[in-house]
Structure 1
Amino acid sequence: MPSHPDSSVGYDTDLIVIGGGPAGCAAARMAASVGMRSVVIEPDRLCRNLYRISALNNALGGYTSGLELADAMTAELKAMELCRLELGRRVTELRAADDRVTVTLDDGRRLVAPYAVVATGVGPLQPGDVPWIVAPEGLFLPPLWQAAADDAEGRTLLVLGGDRPIGTFLRAHPATETRLLVVYPEADVYKVEEVRDDPRVTLLPVEHLTLRPGHRTTVAAEAMSADGTRRNLSADAAYLSIGNVPTAPPGDLLRGSDGYCPPTDQHPRVIVAGDLRSVRYQRIMTALGSGAEAALQAYYAARKLHMRE
């Protein structure tokens, strides 16, 4: 078992965990189970995105909402003696060397450990990030999974993109009277299959979508189909479901052409976990598993180094 932080080599803890979502929390929990101390750095609250997921259908333990699972995970981490929480703090730089990882926080402090788990996840793409949407400069819209029942009841919502959160939203609010105008590029038709038969959904495959300034309480847009047909759209509000972009901290992380951070490409002392790894495995269950595996990877590596020394 690795020793506790050793001031003689300048370590502040056994493991630094960057990100307090499901993967980061699982990493800290697994680290504690094998006697490793950890510091979890999270700019918001633990499991902040999980709290906004109204319905779960792929989590063990009988949890049916993100709030229930997030509450359980947060309570467990806060009660762990081997885990120190740095909430409300951002990582401004991550540096990896032969014998350590150094993390700089936004308040100027530096933390040093033998290994770091990076589990910062992803954030929503905005209209200006995709080529098929023309939008006013600087426009930022919320993702659909942040919408509550009151945001949708009796209203028409323009949903940009056909990604999986649409199905999650509909399952979470089965009795909500709403109309979703789902606008998506024709190449993404496979993404909307699970919501195609819901009577609250109108599917609009497009070549381009132009968002126009509307009234203070409405959204206006012009959709152009592949055959050149144009259609004016009006809605009470607009939400995003066009995918995510990685939110990795600056420093010694290697990114692929898609912006994600493949685990096998990283420095041996930097372990990537959760949604930051790839767009293919963005699920709560895979995030939990990869976070736990990342902590074990650090544990076994540290033990091997200690035995060799």
Structure 2
Amino acid sequence: MVRADSGQDALEALREIKLRGDTVAAMLADYRMPQMDGIAFLEQAMDLFPHARRALLTAYADTDAAIQAINVVDVDHYLLKPWDPPEEKLYPVVDALVETWRAVGDRPVEETKVIGHRWSAPTYEVRDFLARNSVPYRWYSVDEPEGCRLLEAAGLGPGDIPVVITPDGKALRAPTGAEIAAVVGLSTEPAAEFYDLIVIGGGPAGLGAAVYGASEGLRTVLVERQATGGQAGQSSRIENYLGFPDGVSGSQLTERARRQARKFGAEVLTARDVVGLEARGSARVITFSDGSEIAAHAVVLASGVAYRSLEATGCGDLTGRGVYYGSASTEAQACSGEDVYIVGGANSAGQAAVFFSRHARSVTLVVRGASLEQSMSHYLIEQLRAIENVHVRVGTSVVEAHGDDHLESITLCERENGKTETVPCGHLFVFIGAAPYTDWLGESILRDQHGFVRTGPDLLAEGRRPQGWPLDRDPLYLESSVPGVFVAGDVRSQSVKRVASAVGEGAMAVTLVHRYLEER
């Protein structure tokens, strides 16, 4: 290990190492250093050791620098100050950097290429899928010379976008998520036909169940239809999650949980859509969209929720072309200097407003309710009040979106007096309500009037067990109307819609799975 007191001293040390013929596995730089900042240092250091892993140390206020570091020097990781205790915050990062370098060595990092158009909805979906699954990729527009050259080399044209080119040179025209997953190293095929536990859904509840199930010796497989993390994985920053006083992004929390689940031996299948769940004797069987099946002794249903569609004229046609559901972090740089509008009044909308305020000229939060206090945490409301370029319009709805090939403006309506106003807008991010992902469940799984799955005491109408319940005991607390199928997280009726409670329910579900297995 070599340390230096400034960026210039560090560059001198690296030049000496280069002349000696030695190699460098990893470089850690403080963003705020004498003579030059950490990004400038890493940019010059890459000329000497282009394949060394790179990390940037930033303060909480330096989030823009961290994003710049990703774009300018392709930083592998960034650390927030303070990094005490190092055993928890620093050493694991260094270990991961060195392990990656050992695996890759001096070979260039294999990179997936995406060629498309900024206002192409399918292109956005491809980029979002790769980003949410932590797959490194480089984006090329068909309006750029290099994008055209890549298309020509693949024997394709602008009408074929989006095109994904894999590290081994294979070109995929308008691929599905499953096709992309299969060629970029994501696991899509189960290793067995029968497990102890199947977890459906890769949000906080599903990841919690996978970690606890696998760590307690259950043969566990987690099945996710899009990307692990769910809605929480799209959060730009979660600041009220226990144990993270400086906050943590949804993607960071998700990636740690995913690595933890795999460490204990859980399988994680990505881009696999579950379309059926049924009991066959003592087995619980799930069916995939391609007709294949896997079975287990028990199932934890943690399929989560999706943002409800914005019922405004024109929004449907412009989705992915200026109208986005969730934080859509891939659009952050495109928002630079723009006026951004965010629809919603809950924590996810507030977190997105804080995030985009660092990029956009202005951020306007459009809230249907009379105040933020009805739906948003106090700490987040105070943050928003302190940000000069964030504005809040309560009692207001978006009623129409305008634009030809992409979003150009929106019409706002004040609920109290019906007054409308059309304002320029190129980016609209929607965070309204949550629809449970349960349409695929059969009638044997009882749900409430909103589609959320009923469990435990909620199934005992007037003290009676649900019709067709085959056991001599009442359903366990998180057990559905089918014995051995447990429910955790946002998809459960009357659940608390918080990351911490979802993780807790995932862990609790595994405890109840053990009780269920012991009584069989």
Please tell me the TM-score bracket, short chain as reference. 0.7 to 0.9
Which deviates more from structure 2 when the two are superposed, residues 62-71 or residues 115-124?
A: 62-71
Secondary structure in structure 2 of the residue aligned to 1:233 = strand
Look up the equivalent residue of 2:448 and give its one-letter code. Answer: G
Secondary structure in structure 1 of the residue aligned to 2:237 = coil
Q: Describe how 1:131-210 pairs up with structure 2 within 5 A.
A: 133-135=312-314, 140=319, 141-147=323-329, 149-172=332-355, 175-187=358-370, 189=372, 190-191=374-375, 194=381, 195=384, 198-206=387-395, 209-210=398-399
Look up the equivalent residue of 2:441 and give its one-letter code. Answer: P
Match of 2:51 in 1: none
Contact 2:448/2:493 (<8 A) preserved? no
Look up the equivalent residue of 1:79 and give its one-letter code. Answer: K
Which deviates more from structure 2 when the two are superposed, residues 19-28 or residues 147-156?
A: 147-156
Secondary structure in structure 2 of the residue aligned to 1:16 = strand
Match of 1:284 in 2: 499
- Normalised to the residue count of structure 2, the TM-score between the two structures is 0.51
Match of 2:251 in 1: 67
* 2:34 pairs with 1:34: no
Distance 2:351 2:495 in 1: 17
Look up the equivalent residue of 2:421 and give its one-letter code. Answer: R
* 2:493 pairs with 1:302: no
Match of 1:256 in 2: 448
Structure 2, gaps ≥5 residues long: 1-192, 460-479
* 2:415 pairs with 1:231: no
- Normalised to the residue count of structure 1, the TM-score between the two structures is 0.82
Distance 1:142 1:225 in 2: 23
Contact 1:18/1:119 (<8 A) preserved? yes
Distance 1:212 1:94 in 2: 39
Task: Using the TM superposition, give the Cα deviation of residue 127 of structure 1 relative to its aligned residue in structure 2, in angstroms.
Answer: 1.0
Match of 2:430 in 1: 240
Distance 2:408 2:362 in 1: 14
Deviation by residue 1:147-204 (Cα, 9 ceiling, x = unmatched): 4542433211122222222321244456444322222323565236714564323333
User: How many aligned residue pairs are there?
Assistant: 290
The root-mean-square deviation of aligned C-alpha atoms, in Å, is: 2.7
* 2:260 pairs with 1:76: yes
Are the structure 2 counterparts of residues 21 and 269 from structure 1 closer, same or farther at C-alpha, using a change threshold of 3 Å?
same
**Percent of aligned positions that are identical:** 24
- Correspondence for 1:269 among 452, 470, 484: 484
- Correspondence for 2:196 among 10, 14, 17: 14
Distance 2:296 2:211 in 1: 17
Contact 1:28/1:38 (<8 A) preserved? yes
- Correspondence for 2:228 among 28, 42, 46: 46
Are the structure 2 counterparts of residues 48 and 280 from structure 1 closer, same or farther at C-alpha, using a change threshold of 3 Å?
closer
Task: Using the TM superposition, give the Cα deviation of residue 75 of structure 1 relative to its aligned residue in structure 2, in angstroms.
Answer: 1.5
Are the structure 2 counterparts of residues 255 and 197 from structure 1 closer, same or farther at C-alpha, using a change threshold of 3 Å?
farther
Deviation by residue 1:52-111 (Cα, 9 ceiling, x = unmatched): 322121334446222322222122222333x23332211110113563311111222222
Q: Describe how 1:65-144 pairs up with structure 2 within 5 A.
A: 65-81=249-265, 83-96=266-279, 99-128=282-311, 133-135=312-314, 140=319, 141-144=323-326
Are the structure 2 counterparts of residues 271 and 153 from structure 1 closer, same or farther at C-alpha, using a change threshold of 3 Å?
same
Which deviates more from structure 2 when the two are superposed, residues 192-201 or residues 26-35?
A: 192-201
Are the structure 2 counterparts of residues 35 and 104 from structure 1 closer, same or farther at C-alpha, using a change threshold of 3 Å?
same
Secondary structure in structure 2 of the residue aligned to 1:256 = coil
Contact 2:366/2:396 (<8 A) preserved? no
Task: Using the TM superposition, give the Cα deviation of residue 29 of structure 1 relative to its aligned residue in structure 2, in angstroms.
Answer: 1.6
Which deviates more from structure 2 when the two are superposed, residues 222-231 or residues 106-115?
A: 222-231
Look up the equivalent residue of 1:295 and give its one-letter code. Answer: V
